Structure 1
Amino acid sequence: MKTFRTRLTLILMSLVGVSMLAAGLTMAQVFKDSHIRALEENMAREINLLESTFAFIPPDRPDAVDYYTDRARELDRLTDSRVTFVTLDGKVIGDSEMLPGEMDNHAERQEIRSAAGEAVGSAIRYSETIGQDMLYVAHRVKSDRGFEGYIRLSMSLEAVGKEMTKGWYLMAGGLLLLFIAAALVSYRVASGLTKPLEHITRVANRISRLDYDARVNLDRKDEIGQLGHAINGMADSLQQQLKVIHDNEDLMQSVLANMTGGILMVDTSGNIALINREAERILHLRSDQVLGKSYQELKRNYEFMKFVEEGITRKEFLREERNLYSPEERIVQFDGVPMFEDDGSYRGMLFLLQDVTDIRRLEVMRSEFVANVSHELKTPIAAVKGFAETLLAGGVKDEDTKRSFLQIILDEGERLNRLIGDILELSKIESKRVPLEYAPVHLKELFDSIFEMLDPAARKKSIVLLQGVPEHLFIEGDEDRLRQIFMNLLSNAISYTLEGGRVKVEAEVLGDGDEAEKVRITVTDTGIGIPKKDLPRIFERFYRVDKARSRSSGGTGLGLSIVKHLTELHRGTIRVESKVGEGSSFIVELPFMQYHDAES
């Protein structure tokens, strides 16, 4: 822009210089012409004066040449001009500087020919005699004393040249001063034009570098000011559009990142153009490893790569479920959707990945649950039906046998009632339709009441019930549900502990006094223990380690599942540690305080 300013200044100065030079030359020529014209007019007046005052004599007198020569020299001294007397035929009869006899005939001289009429003739030419440019002015005169011819005055133009040189110096000085002033004005004008343009250019460059906060600060109403306002308007529009684009991009990225399903897009070249966080997790890869690369980079996930290849080849909607092993087995549903524009042009394939492992596992669990419920219901119903049919047929006459059959029918009916009750209870708990009423619970009193209820069953098997619960330990919870949790755990411990065994409850505080404090309650028995292979499934519905013993004890197989769900409703955890033949420990950890705004 500085180069442009310099060039503009030079152009303006050149224009001013050329204009001033042309004006100077014109003025000089006009000055010269006007000066020469003034000399001509002055010399013409002098000739007219001579015509009226000069004492002419006839040119044919013998002394005429000497007379006119002497008079010419006298007039030369008076007028400071060369004086020449010429007859009508062009013969010189008197001259102030040369002898007439040595001079040529002047009839063809320009000034003589021009003065042949009544006008004043003039000419400028170089004089060989004097060696200078001369101005010649001639006029035809006629005297009543017998002279008829021309009086010619001539003057050297050297004086005019000196005046012209002086004028040139004065004019050159004036022009130089004027040129300097014009140069300063040109620089100011160029700066006034280029500085705003420099500012606009800097702002435009900042905008091109994505600095959309840049603005043109010009308080002008001319075209440059309008240009600045237009650039500011463009920057405002770009900034607004960019904000919308960024907001939409952030929204899209947020949606993609938080989708529960994976998304992967392959463009028309077979390169991966888009992949979200869930797809990275499912496929065990990072976006920077595959973005912009061929879909064949998915070869670690061979099943998915083959699905992608099929979708790209067929360009139609596809859906499949396949097993992935990376490293654990997972069931993933693949959807391939072709992307077409409104004009029918193909843009690529969009692949959706949905991990349906948990859904399929729940479906299997639901099927197993239905099968288990059917099996569990079938046994007591079959017993009730069989014994009732026997009694109705009248095949039993003995009263003791009848009473025994009726007792079995009653026991199986109660078992069936407990089973249905537990199923309904578990259903309500799993659907979170069990409202918990939180209140401070004194653990020592809670376990005292549970031990009192279970003491008859423990005495029947000579099992010792021990308690290690601090006296002043309180937690916040639903007392009825806590009672249900520990009643189940202690009942199981008594049921699976052999005669003469021991069941113990201990409670200890975890944490350092902050809000994250918990209490750990451990129910330990010296029973038969749980095999290691059964530990992961111990809290599943209807899962029994010793199925024959469980049914004989009247258990429904839902107790531990209910315990687990109730513990989780209290935001607690439960786990089990066990060795076969040595006993088991069920460890429950519960927070001291509950969040009352949570779902019950």
Structure 2
Amino acid sequence: MIKWSFRTRILISFLILVTVALALLGSYLLWFFYRQNLEWQTAHLVTNAKITEQLLEEYMNGPREKAGIDEKIKELSGKIDLRITILDITGTVLADSWEHPGTMENHLERTEIRAALTGDYGTAIRYSATTGQNMLYAALPIKRGNELIGIVRTASTLAPVEADFSQIRSTLLAAIFAAALLTILLSIRLARKYTAPIEEITAAAKQIADGDLSRRIHIRTGDELELLAHTINQLTSNLDDKINETSAEAKKLSLILTHMDNAVILLDHYGQVTGANKKAREIFNIADAMIGRHSLEVIGNSLLNQTVQAVIAENHTKTIELKTNIQGSQRIFQVFFAPITNSGQPAAGVLSVFHDITALQELHERQIDFVANASHELGTPLTAIRGFAETLLDGALETPELRHKFVSIIHTEAERMNRLLKALLQLAKLDSQEYRRQIQLEPIALQPLLQTVAQELSVQAGLQQQEIIIDPASDAEAVALANYDWLKQVMVNLVENAVKYTPANGKIMLKCQSTAAGVLVEVRDTGIGIPAKDLPFIFDRFYRVDRSRTRTAGGSGLGLALVKFIIEMLGGAIQVESQVNLGTTFTFRLPPAG
């Protein structure tokens, strides 16, 4: 099926309309001109017939007179240039200006004759075999008083009328053709004028539909098309604004989802994963190929699927605690579920947000253990102090030897409890985020710090016949970015720890070294060492390798935990190597200054 353009349809419509109008007008004019000529010719024939009747009235009175009619009408016909025929009432031709009456047939049945016999006159148009032309006939009755005595008929050829008609027709056809040609040109121009704005609007609409929202329509027609163009421009502008707003919001949401610490997973009402943010893909190892698979296959937890179905069925939010195994380690998540609905429709899916609370749970468990251990560690010296105090009150004060022994024990336990409380306060202080933000980091020259610590603890080491030595290979230029007070605390704790667990005549060596990975500090002793089974736990709070041995040495079980905490707070890391009865080496790394 042919599809015409709007311009073509307008052009064809104009052509059809004008052609029909011109055809109707031409037909009417042709009919009018022909009718007018025919009526004029008829009137001319009737008038001449009447004149002829009056002139021939005397020739119709008797046979003698009738004999002269033929000559008379031939004479008269020559003057008026018409054919004249005289008939009696029976239709017999009495005379004819063109033919011999005796050779002519009876004319009674001719249309114009019968009309004249019954009325005022009769007319007819008929092809004449005699002349070979169309003829116009007009017949009038010849009366004597009221008596009908004959018929006079005048006739003329229609050739002039037909010639005029043909000329008029040719002129009209030429005029119609010229008008049609002019109409075509005018129609093309009008079609262009009226369709150009529509074509511009159509082209602009296609560009807008293809996404070019910067397109604007500039039409100044002053009519409905200009109003339509203005409306489309306004609609496009509003749509562009809305899309920009939506795009901006989508970008914000995408940035939030991409960079948020929580995993976000979208699931449909079948429990299939339909989307996941970057964090979710990292935690659960979700590849693109896994999108569209069931949550049991992706997450591997039936509780998740059960909760999704419950949220969809109840159309209500839910929060659960989900435990799952990821790459061999247990992770705990607090998962928030919300139904995805639209205008009161049933939930089409579920938004799930996974908050990793594994560390929080571990911290909570450590806090519980810490409180229990702290209570136990504080309870032991308090019990001893109370026991020996009661013994003294019960009479031991009277015995000098017992009094001195018990008071010394009470003093030792009080000192141990004081060290324990001091360590607890330091840990509590370092646990404070606000305090850690106030700690100022600065370049620290490590060699002078090692010398200071060695000098301050040399007396304590000397009491044990021990020697604290700075390794000759130590880097005198090593500088770390740290806090002096807390770094000194680390060194003091490590050296004191070495002094406690190194036998007499032992050595404690300190060393610092600059490397590509950072600044390394080493504390090595020739002490009793640490069993391999205890090495993974020595940095845990209140952990002791041998509680009886540690308590005898005055340890609180918090020194190494405090060391590790400070090192990590300063951006470093610590490790330990040890062999029983050969010694222990603590090595920690700090970021370099500059």
Pick the TM interval, shorter chain: 0.7 to 0.9
In structure 2, relative to structure 1, the CA distance for the partners of 1:19 and 1:310 (3 Å cut) is: closer
CA distance in 1, matches of 2:515, 2:74: 146
Residue 512 (structure 2) aligned to one of 494, 507, 512: 507
Residue 419 of structure 1: CA displacement?
A: 1.2
Is 1:524 aligned to 2:524, yes or no?
A: yes
Residue 28 (structure 2) aligned to one of 26, 29, 48: 26
Residue 429 of structure 1: CA displacement?
A: 0.8
In structure 2, relative to structure 1, the CA distance for the partners of 1:78 and 1:539 (3 Å cut) is: farther
SS where residue 545 of structure 2 aligns?
A: coil
Residue 465 (structure 1) aligned to one of 463, 469, 478: 469
Instruction: Supply the AA of the counterpart residue of 1:563.
Output: V
CA distance in 2, matches of 1:328, 1:188: 82
Contact 1:44 1:139 in 2 (8 A): yes
SS where residue 448 of structure 1 aligns?
A: helix
In structure 2, relative to structure 1, the CA distance for the partners of 1:520 and 1:30 (3 Å cut) is: same
CA distance in 1, matches of 2:112, 2:184: 48
CA distance in 1, matches of 2:313, 2:13: 68
Deviation digits for residues 470-500 of structure 1 (CA, Å, limit 9, x no counterpart): 5455555432222222222222233333444
Work out the number of aligned pairs and report it.
585
User: What residue in structure 1 maps to residue 483 of structure 2?
Assistant: 478
In structure 2, relative to structure 1, the CA distance for the partners of 1:530 and 1:26 (3 Å cut) is: farther
User: What residue in structure 1 maps to residue 127 of structure 2?
Assistant: 126
SS where residue 557 of structure 1 aligns?
A: coil
Is 1:451 aligned to 2:454, yes or no?
A: yes
Contact 1:120 1:137 in 2 (8 A): yes
Residue 179 of structure 1: CA displacement?
A: 1.5
Deviation digits for residues 148-198 of structure 1 (CA, Å, limit 9, x no counterpart): 865432111123223322322222222122222222333333344444434
* Aligned 1:156-305 pairs, distance under 5 A: 156-286=157-287, 288-291=289-292, 293-298=293-298, 300-301=300-301, 304-305=304-305
CA distance in 2, matches of 1:465, 1:584: 14
CA distance in 2, matches of 1:110, 1:2: 56
CA distance in 1, matches of 2:526, 2:307: 55
Instruction: Supply the AA of the counterpart residue of 1:443.
Output: L
Contact 1:65 1:100 in 2 (8 A): no
Is 1:550 aligned to 2:555, yes or no?
A: no
Residue 296 of structure 1: CA displacement?
A: 4.6
CA distance in 2, matches of 1:576, 1:247: 52
SS where residue 514 of structure 2 aligns?
A: strand
SS where residue 439 of structure 2 aligns?
A: coil
Residue 439 of structure 1: CA displacement?
A: 4.8
CA distance in 1, matches of 2:351, 2:483: 50
Instruction: Supply the AA of the counterpart residue of 1:482.
Output: L
User: What residue in structure 2 maps to residue 14 of structure 1?
Assistant: 16
CA distance in 2, matches of 1:485, 1:294: 52
SS where residue 60 of structure 2 aligns?
A: coil
SS where residue 68 of structure 2 aligns?
A: helix
In structure 2, relative to structure 1, the CA distance for the partners of 1:269 and 1:482 (3 Å cut) is: closer
SS where residue 524 of structure 1 aligns?
A: strand
Deviation digits for residues 28-68 of structure 1 (CA, Å, limit 9, x no counterpart): 1112111212222334454566677x586423455545533
In structure 2, relative to structure 1, the CA distance for the partners of 1:270 and 1:425 (3 Å cut) is: closer
Contact 2:301 2:324 in 1 (8 A): no
User: What residue in structure 2 maps to residue 597 of structure 1?
Assistant: none
In structure 2, relative to structure 1, the CA distance for the partners of 1:15 and 1:445 (3 Å cut) is: same
Gaps of 5+ in 2: none
Residue 366 of structure 1: CA displacement?
A: 0.9
CA distance in 2, matches of 1:295, 1:313: 17
SS where residue 58 of structure 1 aligns?
A: helix
In structure 2, relative to structure 1, the CA distance for the partners of 1:413 and 1:197 (3 Å cut) is: same
CA distance in 2, matches of 1:343, 1:230: 33
Bigger mean CA deviation after superposition, 157-166 or 572-581: 572-581
CA distance in 2, matches of 1:81, 1:576: 150
SS where residue 571 of structure 2 aligns?
A: coil
Contact 1:57 1:147 in 2 (8 A): no
Contact 2:56 2:69 in 1 (8 A): no
Instruction: Supply the AA of the counterpart residue of 2:11.
Output: T
Instruction: Supply the AA of the counterpart residue of 2:421.
Output: I
SS where residue 126 of structure 1 aligns?
A: strand
CA distance in 2, matches of 1:344, 1:45: 97
Residue 584 of structure 1: CA displacement?
A: 0.9
In structure 2, relative to structure 1, the CA distance for the partners of 1:477 and 1:278 (3 Å cut) is: closer
User: What residue in structure 1 maps to residue 43 of structure 2?
Assistant: 41
In structure 2, relative to structure 1, the CA distance for the partners of 1:110 and 1:526 (3 Å cut) is: same
CA distance in 2, matches of 1:523, 1:30: 132
Gaps of 5+ in 1: 512-516, 594-600
CA distance in 2, matches of 1:193, 1:399: 127
SS where residue 554 of structure 2 aligns?
A: coil
Residue 466 of structure 1: CA displacement?
A: 1.2
Deviation digits for residues 271-322 of structure 1 (CA, Å, limit 9, x no counterpart): 444544444444443364143x444534744564566578778988574553
In structure 2, relative to structure 1, the CA distance for the partners of 1:14 and 1:437 (3 Å cut) is: closer
Residue 384 of structure 1: CA displacement?
A: 1.7
Is 1:497 aligned to 2:499, yes or no?
A: no
CA distance in 2, matches of 1:272, 1:443: 55
Identity of aligned residues (%): 30
In structure 2, relative to structure 1, the CA distance for the partners of 1:350 and 1:140 (3 Å cut) is: same
Residue 95 of structure 1: CA displacement?
A: 1.3
In structure 2, relative to structure 1, the CA distance for the partners of 1:246 and 1:44 (3 Å cut) is: same
Contact 1:290 1:297 in 2 (8 A): no
Bigger mean CA deviation after superposition, 485-494 or 372-381: 485-494
Scaled by the length of structure 2, what TM-score is found?
0.84
CA distance in 2, matches of 1:442, 1:196: 82
In structure 2, relative to structure 1, the CA distance for the partners of 1:25 and 1:319 (3 Å cut) is: same
What's the Cα RMSD here?
A: 3.8
Contact 2:396 2:403 in 1 (8 A): no
Residue 465 of structure 1: CA displacement?
A: 1.1
User: What residue in structure 1 maps to residue 384 of structure 2?
Assistant: 383
Scaled by the length of structure 1, what TM-score is found?
0.83
CA distance in 2, matches of 1:388, 1:126: 165
Residue 425 of structure 1: CA displacement?
A: 1.3
In structure 2, relative to structure 1, the CA distance for the partners of 1:225 and 1:278 (3 Å cut) is: same
